[in-house]
A and B are shown apart, each in its own frame.
Chain A
Amino acid sequence: MSWETPSFVEINMN
């Protein structure tokens, strides 16, 4: 697979 810098977006589940 191709690589991209791992990242996340924080979400407010409520």
Chain B
Amino acid sequence: MIDTKARVRLAARVRLRFDRHSGKHVLLYPERGLELNPSGERIAALLTELRSVAELVELVAAGVSDTPRAVVERDVLAFLRALDARGLLEVESP
């Protein structure tokens, strides 16, 4: 289970790409893809290099003005766990 101490990044087989047809960013992996909403895109863009979940939450929350940080952290963790459940993340636990 991913927590704020874990370090995460996109797995090697996953690519973040912009889909001109839909106008949205997509995480591509063999045979499938995930079309992201803007918040998901912001998180995915930060997953291109290995960093701690705590740092990732700070970076995301710093750009959010209308939502408590605790809510952002909860949402980011849930999103990361959903990606991890699909095998799309490399996770280093401390």
Contact = CB atoms under 8 A, between A and B. Distances in A.
A11 B37 contact: no
Interface string B40-76: 1011000000000000000000011111000110011
Contacts of B42: 1, 6
Interface residues of B, number: 27
Overall SS of chain A's interface = loop
Interface of B: 26-28, 31-40, 42-43, 63-67, 71-72, 75-76, 78-79, 82
Interface of A: 1-14
19 contacts: A1-B42, A2-B64, A3-B67, A3-B71, A3-B72, A4-B37, A5-B75, A6-B40, A6-B43, A6-B79, A8-B34, A8-B36, A8-B37, A8-B40, A9-B35, A10-B34, A12-B31, A12-B32, A13-B28
